[in-house]
Structure 1
């Protein structure tokens, strides 16, 4: 730790805060019932010790060079000086204090006050970032104020950030968002802009005194899906695990049409494999089974033995019952529903009957965790090499998303996480894939073995098509007020800061009066 760093309340950052995070949060069963793999490589939690106030050591059960990539995004410290009042190890009255705040137990109150994410509610929580959460009203409008102890300075020695206050405003709908943008009321935003918005915003730049940009984006697929490979229905489970089924339905999708209709032809029809760039990338890995070929799709479905019904409209299951599936999507994501309905029509053309059902996000996430869904849908980000290495290769092993949102095969993941105590045993190819991803994360970056494993991880996924995509690498639209200075003028990749897409290093911006 660098001497002189301070929390936003002025308390120096020391290894005391590291040990608090490790001993009292990470190793506490009530606060951390399950330690994530990234802090327990090899199946054993890391060990942390402190040499002095500014030096600490992390030890792992296996070689773990990836920790260097992980630490910048998962800082191993927490403000003990503030949070200990809700921790039972430091306050024997912590349960009573929690009850006074209408929490059922001390750890519920602790987690509430420790939350520094976009759902943060405690404005007193010390932080190290450039701005401090100040308030959030009942509409969700959030205000942040300048951190007087922020560690960053500019080349002249002036403390950052330059901007004293941030406001993240929530509007009723896209129409209001558009109106406020066109009238120049927004300083910057990108989160809900689409390529369909680009011409309108571009035409009104002078009126609104802003600039509209297109940025490259690494999202592997704007909409992707997986079948539930551990479905409770034995017939569907066997069907979903037949590679011919996945090949057929992938070939039945007209990705070029989706690209034109939804993304002005600016995306790339592809499956959700990592974008080109890594040393182990090979052209074509993202193109397996993406050729639009209705004849091939029909031939594969016929080969499986899926006969048509008496009307010749839709196919039957192998047991003779009607084949009818549900694709559940987040009701708040109209873009996913629109692409889902295009896929519905494509699949109907080869005799596969699905319905697209908008659900409350929390409800359908619960259904996925309960292994009750047919088809899991999401926007497929998090597939890049840095993300997969630093966090978890969520797009390359079951359940092809975070375990809390299992798109496909949730019971496989349970089996893998519990060494076979719970869940359903996966096929050998999944076990092999799991071992490859684990070893890849542990291998030093850039070695021959690292690249060999990285290629295997992509190739196994590409060949087996457990996660199927539509169109990816679609440019992202942003607008920024012409009053904002000192931001990148190149149309570079956006980053996420304060739960919004933005240009990198907002603390360096300043506003021209």
Structure 2
């Protein structure tokens, strides 16, 4: 079975000659470089077949060049938001979560085992060098397969049955990756917010590679950039996801021009970006993004004070009323997007905790169900989300084609009587003078819930849950710690229960990996040891002891082996049913809103959208390169 995906940009081959005869419109921002002959004309900067974005067909308006967008970030590392939101990918999702070729001109795959990529002819990196199959070869042979640069070996998304693909160069503009079995994670991995790295600019990166650089020059570069190993030098200079090296050529719509450390980062338009609108204007429309580093605690206050033109990070629904009021004072508008998480906050009992008594209790599904039934989700929804969220288990949203109402309803109704009955059935019948149940070893039933301490929303909700659980004889105590400490303590079994967000991707399709429903990663706080076992191919951690968790792992493996959408849909359904019925995470409210503030002059910013890291890359699938400044917002 052959499946083929192509981009609308293929229409450009018939479209562009008319542009060339009429003359391209150049951005004013680039005209000084053009006058100095430091840049070729646009017709020579674009690929032979650029990707054409038909904005009118998307219900948006074609724009015009110019302007600077100010935004606030909480730390220097958050310059990665430009990579996430710029969302230039070899293959990427559209707003309906369909995959399309983007940087690639086209791609073809046979049974998700043989992938052939066609590169756009005369596509250039931001420094003007051409993108060819040599960039793919360099990245595969000299980086991914290099033991110094990748001591952990080839990353998991590139392995099938523990084996990497065979890489071939077909010609200057065509490459192929071949596995012996299906790799359904490959294309979604390329479309991810932090994508699989298959492509580095070889002409630039060779100077930092031991294979291509002489030892004397390489040693000098290591001293200049203050690293002790050549591999560290190469890694530092090649970092794409967090673009700290202004010299590194990019394919993104904007390129960083500021070397850290800095309090302000300036990203300016990539003169060789591969997309154009239907009128032949090269994207992006906006010339610059200016990212100002601020304390995370005051980003909302600064946003409401008119210090940003586009803001979504550092603000939450709790800030909505304040931000909405700023519309009266500044030329801004505040929209509410829907967060894609399976639950805005979730309680995660650590099934790998060291406390043997609590571990045995958490393994009993009756305890997990009782803790869930005791929570008054309606109260949480009304108090914390003005009643605008959906009271639900931690599961997928109605926007997913896989959605069924019974997933959200599983053990999520408020029924303290049934919760008490379940705990009595488990054997927790004795109580102390305060009405708190006694554990089998005589201790009182006190659950310490730990958080990363990054949101007052978490502690506010936990205060409500404290009252809910007291009615079933469970005492709740809150402890906060730093994120890194929080994660390591969970992995070490020192945390008995944590509060985090729910499923990262609440709007999956059948062709997206269901690994979030099974022990598959050490960052999953309800089963980190089991997740590490799967992630490390059995080298670390240990396999799940619970049959239901084992079944989820088996289903995940079955999903990876099949290429049939119908079978994948069936597997997703069984996993969602099992995950929610077993209450491996205790969700509360989903479909909650995320404020997105933008200048009232900034056009094409959607009034509503799906907001999340996965799969939408925050604003990424809505193409910020198509946002543009007008005298007022276009209707």
Q: Same fold (TM over 0.5)?
A: yes
| Equivalent-residue separation in structure 2 for 1:176 and 1:59 (angstroms) | 47
- DSSP-derived class of the 1:42 partner: coil
**Pair 1:160-2:283 in alignment:** yes
**1:130: which partner in 2?**
253
**1:510: which partner in 2?**
628
| Equivalent-residue separation in structure 2 for 1:195 and 1:123 (angstroms) | 35
| Equivalent-residue separation in structure 1 for 2:609 and 2:447 (angstroms) | 40
16-25 vs 60-69, which deviates more?
60-69
Instruction: Give how far 1:257 is off.
Output: 0.8
| Equivalent-residue separation in structure 2 for 1:34 and 1:407 (angstroms) | 25
Instruction: Pick closer, same or farther for the CA change 1:13–1:227 going to 2, 3 Å.
Output: same
- DSSP-derived class of the 1:167 partner: strand
Instruction: Give how far 1:183 is off.
Output: 4.4
Instruction: Give how far 1:243 is off.
Output: 0.4
**2:531: which partner in 1?**
413
**Pair 1:195-2:312 in alignment:** no
Contact 1:398 1:409 in 2 (8 A): yes
**Pair 1:107-2:231 in alignment:** yes
267-276 vs 335-344, which deviates more?
335-344
- Give the 5 Å matches for 1:391-406: 392-398=513-519, 402-403=521-522, 405-406=523-524
| Equivalent-residue separation in structure 2 for 1:208 and 1:161 (angstroms) | 25
Instruction: Give how far 1:186 is off.
Output: 1.8
Query: TM-score, length-normalised on structure 2?
Result: 0.74
Instruction: Give how far 1:387 is off.
Output: 7.7
- DSSP-derived class of the 1:208 partner: coil
Q: Which one of 118, 126, 136 corresponds to residue 18 of structure 1? A: 136
**Pair 1:363-2:485 in alignment:** yes
Q: Which one of 266, 282, 286 corresponds to residue 388 of structure 2? A: 266
Instruction: Give how far 1:389 is off.
Output: 4.7
**Pair 1:246-2:365 in alignment:** no
**Pair 1:151-2:151 in alignment:** no
Contact 1:146 1:164 in 2 (8 A): yes
Query: TM-score, length-normalised on structure 1?
Result: 0.90
Contact 2:401 2:509 in 1 (8 A): no
Instruction: Pick closer, same or farther for the CA change 1:345–1:170 going to 2, 3 Å.
Output: farther
Instruction: Give how far 1:265 is off.
Output: 0.4
Instruction: Give how far 1:143 is off.
Output: 2.1
Instruction: Give how far 1:34 is off.
Output: 4.6
Contact 1:225 1:376 in 2 (8 A): yes
Instruction: Pick closer, same or farther for the CA change 1:375–1:106 going to 2, 3 Å.
Output: farther
Residue-pair matches, total: 505
Q: Which consecutive residues of structure 1, in runs of 5 or more, have no partner in the other structure?
A: none
| Equivalent-residue separation in structure 1 for 2:214 and 2:445 (angstroms) | 59
195-204 vs 127-136, which deviates more?
195-204
Instruction: Give how far 1:108 is off.
Output: 2.4
Instruction: Give how far 1:362 is off.
Output: 1.1
Once superposed, what is the RMSD of the aligned Cα atoms? 2.7
- Give the 5 Å matches for 1:22-421: 22-32=140-150, 33-73=152-192, 74=195, 76-91=198-213, 93=215, 94=218, 97-98=221-222, 100-117=224-241, 119-135=242-258, 138=261, 140-172=263-295, 177-178=300-301, 180-386=302-508, 389-390=511-512, 392-398=513-519, 402-403=521-522, 405-421=523-539
1:69-106 alpha-carbon deviations (Å, 9 max, x no partner): 33333352112222233333333635674355332422
| Equivalent-residue separation in structure 1 for 2:154 and 2:467 (angstroms) | 43
1:293-341 alpha-carbon deviations (Å, 9 max, x no partner): 1111111112212244432432222222333332221122222222233
Instruction: Pick closer, same or farther for the CA change 1:422–1:138 going to 2, 3 Å.
Output: closer
| Equivalent-residue separation in structure 2 for 1:356 and 1:335 (angstroms) | 13
| Equivalent-residue separation in structure 1 for 2:510 and 2:128 (angstroms) | 35
253-262 vs 277-286, which deviates more?
277-286
| Equivalent-residue separation in structure 2 for 1:269 and 1:57 (angstroms) | 46
Contact 1:229 1:408 in 2 (8 A): yes
1:240-275 alpha-carbon deviations (Å, 9 max, x no partner): 111011001111111111111111100011112111
| Equivalent-residue separation in structure 1 for 2:529 and 2:306 (angstroms) | 50
Q: Which one of 575, 581, 603 corresponds to residue 457 of structure 1? A: 575
68-77 vs 251-260, which deviates more?
68-77
Instruction: Give how far 1:278 is off.
Output: 4.3
Contact 1:191 1:500 in 2 (8 A): no
**1:493: which partner in 2?**
610
Instruction: Pick closer, same or farther for the CA change 1:104–1:58 going to 2, 3 Å.
Output: same
Contact 2:514 2:572 in 1 (8 A): no
12-21 vs 93-102, which deviates more?
93-102
